Amino acid sequence: MVETTRNFSRASSEVTRRVMQSNRGRDTGPELRLRRLLHAMGLRYRVGLRAVPDLRRTIDIAFTKQRIAVFVDGCFWHGCPTHSHSVKTNTSFWTDKITKNIARDLDTNEVLRARGWTVIRFWEHVDPEDSANQVAELVHKFAGIQMPRCEQ
């Protein structure tokens, strides 16, 4: 059978295309680790919430009562200043893509803040326990709950 239609791909090779397709938009390893820790701390949240219906953007971890939006950003996809690296093939495409991702993240922050949300972002390389403690502190603060203190 002769292939009459072909999917257009900007990938530099078939292997690259497969790798790109396998990248998750949600439920990534760093997100799951943070969610497990938050859940173990007794915190309940929503996943993949679309807080602004007319925007095709979702919050990774949302605390709706406190209006706290938590994002876990991948170093490559979101242009981490510490771990981002330049690609060797298709450079202009990737530079443009990551630049647009950064601009979209900034816009998402502004839109959510304008609607009364507190936005907190973590890079995927940040220790998930540190992230979980920061989120828990913020959630408890907004809920008016005193954080338990460790006694030594």
5 occurs within a structural domain: no
**30: domain CATH number?**
3.40.960.10
In a domain, 2, yes or no: no
Q: Structural domain tally of the chain?
A: 1
Using one digit for the tens of pLDDT, what is the confidence trace for 115-131?
Answer: 999 999 999 999 999 99
Confidence of residue 81 (pLDDT cuts 50, 70, 90): confident
Give a yes or no: residue 40 inside a domain: yes
Does the residue 47 lie in any domain?
A: yes
CA distance 67 to 150: 27
The DSSP H or E segment spanning 66 is none
Does residue 14 form part of some domain? no
Q: Tell me which residue range forms the domain holding 68.
A: 26-143
Tokens 């630049």 map to which residue? 99
Query: Could you tell me which residues are beta bridge partners of residue 120?
Result: 70
